[in-house]
């Protein structure tokens, strides 16, 4: 069956040949444009159309048998739905007075755009969950670190205070020791002073005696 025969087959169901031709053209155009854009068209019970990327590879020329390199390319692929497969295999009977493929439920005819939107939403949720978990982990790690830092700071302050107190005590003791050492020295100096006065008197007496002679 070609396109013209397909149009004739559905002409009576859609109200005329022209309407059938327009419907076929619109459906095929929508499928082709979606697949070229990388979207996936899925019709429940019928099948799905999608774009598949094939990597570069080597193949054989069927005429010469020569090994040739095939560049990377993209090809369309159609996968039949389970209902379509069952009808073709004969496991299900083809209905006579009804359509072979039932109308898809609302939302089953989907393109890649909606699929991508759903995937992006799921990715955002996953990223948000990871970020929240990371923040919680960071907060938990930071809390012990802050406590440890606070403890170290408190310990350092206590140690500094103790050292300052010890230094003050040592300074006070040193001052007292110096004062004690200085006091006997001053007393000894004071005692030596009268001796100097006595010496001066003896010298004066000798000079007076010499003058009288």
Tell me the sheet residues that pair with 77: 50
Other CB atoms within 10 Å distance of the CB of residue 104: 15
What the block records as the tokens of 73 is: 């390319």
Per-residue three-class SS string for 5-41: HHHHHHHHHHCCHHHHHHHHHHHHHHHHHHHHCCCCE
Model confidence at 101, pLDDT cuts 50, 70, 90, reads confident
Q: 142: exposed, middle or buried (C-beta count within 10 Å: 0-12, 13-18, 19+)? A: exposed
Q: How far apart are CA 33 and CA 111, in angstroms?
A: 11
What the block records as the tokens of 102 is: 């039932």
Share of the chain above pLDDT 90, in %: 37
Q: State residue 159's pLDDT score.
A: 60
Condensed to tens digits (0 to 9), the pLDDT of residues 142-185 reads: 555 556 555 665 665 666 666 767 667 766 665 665 556 555 55
Beta strand 67-70 with 57-60: parallel, antiparallel or unpaired? antiparallel
Q: How far apart are CA 35 and CA 50, in angstroms?
A: 5
Whether the Cβ atoms of residue 66 and residue 60 lie closer than 8 Å to each other: yes
Condensed to tens digits (0 to 9), the pLDDT of residues 38-67 reads: 999 999 989 999 999 999 999 999 999 999
Q: State residue 186's pLDDT score.
A: 56
The secondary structure of the chain in percent helix, strand, coil, rounded to multiples of 5, reads 65, 15, 20
DSSP-derived secondary structure letter, 2: -
Condensed to tens digits (0 to 9), the pLDDT of residues 175-208 reads: 665 556 555 555 555 455 454 554 556 566 566 6
Average pLDDT, the chain: 74
Q: How far apart are CA 182 and CA 197, in angstroms?
A: 23
């Amino acid at each position: 069956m070609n396109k013209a025969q397909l149009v004739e087959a559905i002409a009576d169901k859609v109200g005329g040949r022209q309407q059938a031709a327009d419907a076929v053209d619109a459906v095929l155009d929508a499928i082709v444009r979606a697949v070229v854009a990388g979207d996936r068209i899925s019709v429940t019970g019928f099948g799905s159309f999608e774009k598949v990327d094939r990597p570069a590879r080597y193949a054989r020329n069927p005429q010469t048998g020569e090994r040739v390199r095939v560049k990377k390319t993209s090809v369309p692929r159609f996968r039949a739905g389970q209902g379509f497969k069952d009808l073709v295999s004969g496991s299900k009977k083809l209905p006579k007075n009804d359509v072979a493929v039932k109308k898809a439920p609302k939302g089953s005819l989907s393109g890649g755009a909606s699929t991508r939107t759903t995937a992006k939403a799921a990715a955002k949720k996953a990223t948000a969950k990871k970020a929240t978990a990371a923040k919680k982990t960071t907060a938990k790690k930071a809390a012990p670190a802050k406590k440890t830092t606070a403890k170290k700071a408190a310990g350092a302050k206590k140690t500094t205070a103790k050292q300052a107190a010890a230094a003050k005590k040592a300074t006070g003791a040193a001052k007292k020791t110096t004062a004690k050492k200085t006091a006997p020295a001053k007393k000894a100096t004071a005692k030596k002073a009268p001796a100097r006065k006595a010496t001066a008197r003896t010298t004066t007496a000798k000079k007076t005696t010499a003058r009288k002679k």
